[in-house]
Amino acid sequence: MEEPEMQLKVKKVTDKFTESMYVLANEPSVALYRLQEHVRRSLPELAQHKSDMQSWEEQSQGAIYTVEYACSAIKNMTDSGVYFKSIDSLLKHAIAMKDQLNAT
């Protein structure tokens, strides 16, 4: 091969090699820049979502407590049926005794 042709081929190879090294050297920084850019854009929205979720969780906990309290009250009312039957029988007995006293 002729020397000028060889020099041209060597220059092309070294230029391609240099370009490849440049791309490889800068690729991580470009990726990190894109990642930083993405985080900077999406972080405020994510923080707002987190705040909203915490607020909804507090409201849900309050509602759950209210429902559990209401269920407990209803259960206690159901369990108090025995007492109402006892009161009913005592009232009937008291009315019968009053009628008996009035009859004499």
Could you read off the pLDDT of 69-96 as tens digits, one per residue? Answer: 999 998 888 888 888 899 999 999 999 9
Mean pLDDT of 53-64: 95
Whether the full predicted model's pTM is greater than 0.75, yes or no, is no
Q: Which two tokens stand for residue 40?
A: 């900077």
Tell me the residue length of the chain. Answer: 104
| pLDDT attached to residue 104 | 74
Could you read off the pLDDT of 17-46 as tens digits, one per residue? Answer: 888 888 777 777 777 888 899 999 999 999
| pLDDT attached to residue 20 | 84
| pLDDT attached to residue 58 | 94
User: Does residue 1 carry a pLDDT above 70?
Assistant: no
Angle between helices 3-79 and 81-103 (to 10 degrees): 10
| pLDDT attached to residue 29 | 78
Q: First-to-last CA distance in the chain?
A: 146
| pLDDT attached to residue 62 | 93
Round to whole Å and give the CA distance between 29 and 26. 5
Q: Render the chain in DSSP notation, one character per residue.
A: --HHHHHHHHHHHHHHHHHHHHHHHHHHHHHHHHHHHHHHHHHHHHHHHHHHHHHHHHHHHHHHHHHHHHHHHHHHHHHTHHHHHHHHHHHHHHHHHHHHHHH-
Ordered by start, the domain boundaries in the chain are: 1-77
| pLDDT attached to residue 25 | 75
